[in-house]
């Protein structure tokens, strides 16, 4: 009976479980079906997830601005929206022919990325885009607030945050963490409003222009420090390095200088 | 009729008598980590119950054709795929809760409870009894999580499901939150207390002193 059955599926099922052919085929089928399942779930659900993340980032940005004293009124005056500008990081000015809409496309081109030397790569990124999008709040002609997206390698994964800097381009007005995967209960406290409340008023650079900002070990002692997070030394120092990288010469340094000189 | 009774006992035994968390002390990593609020505890419970039930069903369907040499890998692949699908679903439709649960959803993959049920039960029983058994174990796990989550949220924040239940002293009430309840050790204390209470009432759950593992399989 078995010899007359030419249906390959039934012949496969009839094989003893220990046979090598069946082992390989079962392993292959299980992985293939699982792969299809996982991929289709990811593909089908991705648009919703992207929309969620974008909405969340928008919410955090407006929360950040509203949380800074005096900014809510200014935001209302400007029609409730921030102006979005794509920045050429190397030149420290607005990019010539890239708009926020074309930024994503531009960044798929490897030519628009700079590979970082190990010594410069404080934030652990490996490479840095040459163009990023920042948000400005103007009061008349003057810039009264600038929101700078920053990113860096944390303890558990990439940390994304937005730093708000006052018009003097040296005083931090606030921070919002938009994405992280730090240890819940320890490093994840970078999300806590009580910790983020340390940031407003902290200075970035000293008179000689060096970035002095850091997350202290323990309680902040100087104007350039914010309190550390107990039990999250690695996360704290990641935040320090991320901030120093992005506010330094490799990051937004040239832009902050240019704005400070009134060239923007 | 006899069938029905056995399904019913398969379903209800893991709730208290054979509870996977308090009797077998399985899956406590996530039980400790996600129980600071009811909302996360409930989401985790539902996710785990869905994964364990579907996983047991699928593995039970193909149980006669899983080669013994790769059976653990096959089971883990199936469970892991289900977990990823659930996680993607949570990220899409319950973004806030998904962030609060962070890595613990992925850790369902390695939850000994899930593999324990598929390895010891689903591999030897038909799809329906396997799914009933898995569902019962999922409910047993959920029960412990929800009890822990309820106690921790109530005494840690004076809230249940994010709604203020006990008036806080800061806001003119009488309740001072126990911050300890929001920290990981409190879950250990509570779970320990729960196990002690259960074993005081049901002395048959007490483990023999010579460290022989308790009989974890229902004797049917």
Mutate to test the interface with B, among A16, A17, A19, A230 (most CBs of B within 10 A): A17
Which of A69-83, A168-182, B2-16 has the lowest average pLDDT?
A69-83
CB contact under 8 A, A45 and B88: yes
Q: Give the closest of B77, B103, B183 to A30, CB-based.
A: B77
Q: What number of other Cβ atoms are within 10 A of residue A87's Cβ?
A: 23
Q: How would you classify the pairing of strands A131-139 and A127-129?
A: unpaired
What are residue A34's DSSP bridge partners? none
pTM of the model: 0.65
User: What are the pLDDT digits (tens) for A11-20?
Assistant: 888 888 888 8
Range with the poorest average pLDDT among A205-219, B23-37, B74-88, B126-140: B23-37
| pLDDT band with cut points at 50, 70 and 90 for residue B26 | confident
Task: Tell whether the model's pLDDT for residue B126 goes beyond 80.
Answer: yes
Q: Where are the domains of chain B?
A: 37-199
- Is beta strand A225-226 parallel, antiparallel or unpaired with respect to A214-215? parallel
Report d(CA B89, CA B91) in Å as an integer.
5
Distances (CA, A) of A138 to A2, A87, A246: 82, 16, 22
Interface of A with B in 158-217 (CB under 8 A): 181, 184-185, 188
Looking at residue B1, its pLDDT comes to 40
Q: How does the average pLDDT of chain A come out, rounded?
A: 84
Written in H, E and C, the secondary structure of chain A is CHHHCCCHHHHHHHCCCCCHHHHHHHHHHHHHHHHHHHHHHHHHHHHHHHHHHHHHHHHHHHHHHHHCCCHHHHHHHCCCCCEEEEEECCCCEECCCCCHHHHHHHCCCHHHEEECCCCCCCCCCCEEECEEEEEEEEECCEEEEEEEEEEEECCCCEEEEEEEEECCCCEEEEEEEEECCCCCCCHHHHHCHHHHCCCCCCECECCCCCECCEECCCCCCCCCEECCCCCCHHHHHHHHHHHHHHHCCCCCHHHHHHHHCCCC
Structural domain boundaries of chain A? Answer: 1-67, 68-260
Looking at residue A1, its pLDDT comes to 46
């Amino acid at each position: 009976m078995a010899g007359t059955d030419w249906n390959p599926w039934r012949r496969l099922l009839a094989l003893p479980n220990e046979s090598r052919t069946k082992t390989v085929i079962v392993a292959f089928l299980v992985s293939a079906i699982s792969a299809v399942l996982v991929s289709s779930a990811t593909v089908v659900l991705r648009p919703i997830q992207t929309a969620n993340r974008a909405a969340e980032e928008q919410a955090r940005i407006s929360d950040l601005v509203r949380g800074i004293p005096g900014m809510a009124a200014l935001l209302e005056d400007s029609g409730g929206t921030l102006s979005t500008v794509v920045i050429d990081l190397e030149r420290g000015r607005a990019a010539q022919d890239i708009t926020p809409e074309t930024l994503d496309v531009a960044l798929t081109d490897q030519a628009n990325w700079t590979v970082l030397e190990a010594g410069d790569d404080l934030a652990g990124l490996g490479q840095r885009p040459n163009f990023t999008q920042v948000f400005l709040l103007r009061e008349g002609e003057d810039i009264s607030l600038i929101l700078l997206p920053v990113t860096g390698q944390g303890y558990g994964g990439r940390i994304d945050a937005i730093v708000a800097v006052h018009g003097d381009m040296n005083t931090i007005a606030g921070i919002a963490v938009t994405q992280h995967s730090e240890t819940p209960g320890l490093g994840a406290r970078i999300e806590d409003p009580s910790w983020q409340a340390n940031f407003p008023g902290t200075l970035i650079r000293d008179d000689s222009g060096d970035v002095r900002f850091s997350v202290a070990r323990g309680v902040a002692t100087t104007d350039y420090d914010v309190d550390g997070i107990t039990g999250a030394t690695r996360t704290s120092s990641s935040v320090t390095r991320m901030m120093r990288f992005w506010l330094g010469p490799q990051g937004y340094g040239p832009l902050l200088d240019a704005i400070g000189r009134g060239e923007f | 009729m006899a069938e029905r009774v056995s399904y019913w006992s398969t379903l209800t035994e893991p709730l208290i008598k054979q509870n996977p968390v308090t009797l077998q002390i399985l899956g406590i990593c996530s039980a400790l980590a996600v129980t600071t609020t009811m909302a996360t505890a409930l989401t985790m419970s539902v996710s785990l119950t869905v994964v364990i039930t579907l996983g047991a069903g699928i593995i039970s369907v193909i149980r006669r054709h899983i080669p013994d040499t790769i059976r653990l890998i096959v089971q883990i692949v199936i469970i892991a795929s289900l977990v990823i699908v659930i996680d993607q679903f949570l990220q899409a439709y319950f973004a806030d809760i998904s962030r609060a649960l962070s890595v613990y959803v992925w850790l369902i993959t390695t939850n000994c409870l899930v593999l324990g049920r598929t390895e010891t039960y689903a591999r030897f029983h038909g799809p329906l009894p396997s799914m009933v058994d898995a569902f019962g174990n999922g409910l047993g796990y959920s029960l412990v999580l929800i009890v822990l989550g309820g106690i921790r949220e109530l005494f840690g924040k004076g809230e249940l499901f994010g709604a203020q239940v006990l008036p806080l002293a800061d806001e003119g009430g009488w309740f001072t939150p126990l911050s300890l309840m929001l920290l990981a050790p409190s879950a250990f204390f509570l779970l320990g207390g729960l196990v002690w209470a259960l074993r005081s009432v049901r002395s048959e759950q007490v483990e023999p002193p010579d460290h022989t593992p308790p009989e974890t399989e229902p004797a049917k």
